[in-house]
Structure 1
Amino acid sequence: MANQKNGDPYVVLNPTIETLRKEKEATERVNEKLLNRIVEEKQCIQWYWNDWDKECVILRKRIKEQEEEMKELKRLRDIAERMDAQAPVVEPNPKDNSEDGPKENLGDDLVIDIEDDPEEVPNYEW
């Protein structure tokens, strides 16, 4: 710096150029790190986007399947309602409501108890 007093511009500029080189190199390293980080973030976003897109395709497929199931259920419900509307009204038989349980009507006077009574079942031995 002694030459600085003599007016030698090289001595004054030399440390400034070296400082600028160091700053430029440091800036380039930082920019490279930032660029690498941006590339990594972009790649992560792309992966998430692909996963999200795949999930959306799966969900759309499930929704379509459920809509088809709902249409089929509605069609079956409509059929059941039409069948109920066309079904004849059946009057209950007073003989079916006896205290012994349900009975099978085999004619006017003949009624057989359907329930199995172990005492009444014949024992067949061969």
Structure 2
Amino acid sequence: MTCTMTETEYVSQMLTKIKRFAEHHSCHVWFVAHPRQLQQWGGGAPNLYDISGSAHFINKCDNGIVIHRNRDEKAGPLDRVQVCVRKVRNKVIGNIGDAFLSYDRITGKFMDLDDDARSK
């Protein structure tokens, strides 16, 4: 038996089923996805449409968050992590915007940059 469904159709149906499951069971479902290989990537944070597979990941999600670690010494400290909230369906829950954290490789902890500066 061959499948006549495209990847986009499959992703759409799968996400619809998962949303129904989450609503029925009153739970949250988190997808963690890496961006597809970015051609001519400039080093900045990817956007939600850079997820490989389908734009349905963005269209059907309630919240879209990108976590980006700086890998360029010229762009700033290498321990800087950018948390980019790019989509919020229910505006009561939060706002679109960015936050920056510091990552300590030794402890594995993330710290607010303000907290990091106060501790020094």
Q: Which has the higher helix share?
A: 1
TM-score of the aligned structures, taking structure 2 as reference length: 0.20
State the structure with bigger RCO (CA 8 A, min sep 6), 1 or 2.
Answer: 2
TM-score of the aligned structures, taking structure 1 as reference length: 0.20
Q: Which has the higher strand share?
A: 2
